[in-house]
Amino acid sequence: MAPTFDICIRGSGIVGSTLALLLARDRLKVALLPAPGPKSPAAGDVRAYALNRASRQLLESLRSWPDAQHATAVRHMQVQGDQGGAVHFDAAAQGVDAMAWIVDVPALEARLAEAVRYQPQVDVVDAPVHAALTVVCEGRASSTRAEFGAQFHATPYAQHAIATRLRCERPHGQVARQWFAQGGILAFLPLDGPQGSTVAVVWSVPQDQAPLLMALPPEEFAQKLQDASQDALGALQLTAERAAWPLQFAQADRWCGPLPGASTQSWALAGDAAHNVHPLAGQGLNLGLADGQALAAVLHGRDAWRSVADLRLLRRYERARKAALLPMGLATDGLQQLFTRPEAPLQALRNWGMKGFDLSGPLKNFVARQAMGM
């Protein structure tokens, strides 16, 4: 007899796998379906995410947090403007051991896959299955989202992100560094533990510059990064291929609804299938994991007689997550717009603002603790 599933999750990435493990703890039977399309081999995956304390606690509760070599604690954060403005954050000043952790994506995916493999309530399937609730975690390019009738309203930025890995002449010192200059935003994220000298790079550049930078020989591209980073870590050497993608601010109009043609089945969105924000604040995956945690909590707290497809429950999840996303979305969008404008008065204003914010005391501490998931 074919198994009966309560929930089908389309997309077995980090958000989808985390949600599957959370739902399994409530003895729900979950089908986990990999997202369609080719998957890059782990050896060529240059992604790394900044995860906050709330995300770490969630993944630890699922026994899926990577070891220290693949989850480097950030003790300090340094943000540099284009006219002397600067903001510094320090973990010790916040009374914590880390501002965030830079997590190597292949290592995290491997831990989640292992946890899924040993969870009898989760079956990995190769085609959609009948279930009361289908959750779409397929990422920003989801095809299922439109199939279910959700509109994805995207505002493209005139920027592309370029990601790669670097070996640096000097150790990173567990410092996450970011530079706003010449219409671009460059981030160096520390990797390989406390003594490491490698960094993950995310460089948001004007879209007309991206093809030129991608075409440069590795040595010339590394020199561009060394210049843009003001020689902060000395000579740089690429240790991976480069990946590039367009940036956008986007959100689905609806995050849940009845499954087309099925009166007793429903769907919901989570993660990048529901929303995209600019990577400058490093909050994209934190928001996605919080989606999964919120949806699991709503289903966990339902009355025994309610189905997991109950739209009143799903709309409660949608309202809560849209409200939580609003301030982060507005903040990242506003900062992107502000720091890509070339006008001299705006340059002076934003750098004056950075200096003032760095001295703001309680406001700076509040923002830091919000970003840390506290």
Residues shown for the chain: 374
What totals of helices (H) and strands (E) does the chain contain, helices first? 10, 18
pLDDT at residue 37, as a whole number: 62
Would you say 103 and 71 are in contact if contact means Cβ atoms under 8 Å apart? yes
pLDDT for res 107 = 94
β-strands 5-10, 131-136: how paired? parallel
Strands 30-33, 122-124: pairing is parallel
User: In the prediction, which pLDDT does 42 show?
Assistant: 47
- Under 8 Å between Cβ of 333 and 321: no
Domains and CATH numbers, the chain: 5-39+46-155+247-371 (3.50.50.60)
What does the pLDDT read at residue 369? 58
- Determine the pLDDT at residue 124: 96
User: Residue 53: CB partners within 8 Å, gap ≥ 6?
Assistant: 96, 98, 100, 372, 373, 374
Strands (E), the chain: 5-10, 30-33, 48-51, 71-74, 76-80, 86-90, 100-104, 122-124, 131-136, 152-168, 175-181, 184-191, 198-206, 236-238, 243-252, 256-258, 266-269, 275-276
The pLDDT score that the predictor gives to residue 89 is: 80
Residue partners of 81: CB distance under 8 A and separation at least 6: 180, 181, 339, 350, 351, 354
Backbone angles phi, psi at 56, to 5 degrees: -60, -45
Query: What does pTM read for this prediction?
Result: 0.88
Residues with pLDDT less than 50, the chain: 1, 40-43, 352, 363
